[in-house]
């Protein structure tokens, strides 16, 4: 199974969750999933991959 979401380091100890298909930061409820701790970013990726969370619709998907 191909992963669609992943995390990347955006600043020292701050992570963002992004869509590997578009390269864009994932948006949930109107807010970007950025400025996160590593554990939180990993958890968001896991939940997105499992289909337990659904990001906001974007023009690029």
pLDDT tens profile 34-51? 999 999 999 999 999 999
Position 57 in a domain: no
Q: Can you give the residue range of the structural domain that contains 20?
A: 5-50
Q: Is 40 left (phi over 0), alpha (psi -120 to 50) or beta?
A: alpha
User: Which residue shows structure tokens 């950025």?
Assistant: 34
Alpha-helical segments (H) within the chain: 38-50
pLDDT of residue 2: 87
Average pLDDT, the chain: 94
Position 56 in a domain: no
pLDDT of residue 8: 98
Position 61 in a domain: no
Tokens of residue 60, six digits: 């690029």
Position 19 in a domain: yes
Question: What is the spatial distance between Cα 43 and Cα 29, in angstroms, rounded to a whole number?
Answer: 17
pLDDT of residue 61: 46
Number of domains in the chain: 1
Position 58 in a domain: no
């Amino acid at each position: 199974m191909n992963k669609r979401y992943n995390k990347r380091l955006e600043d020292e100890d701050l992570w963002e969750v992004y869509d590997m298909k578009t390269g864009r930061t994932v948006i949930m409820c109107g807010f970007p999933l950025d400025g996160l701790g590593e554990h939180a970013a990993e958890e968001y990726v896991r939940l997105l991959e499992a289909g337990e969370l659904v990001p906001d619709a974007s023009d690029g998907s």
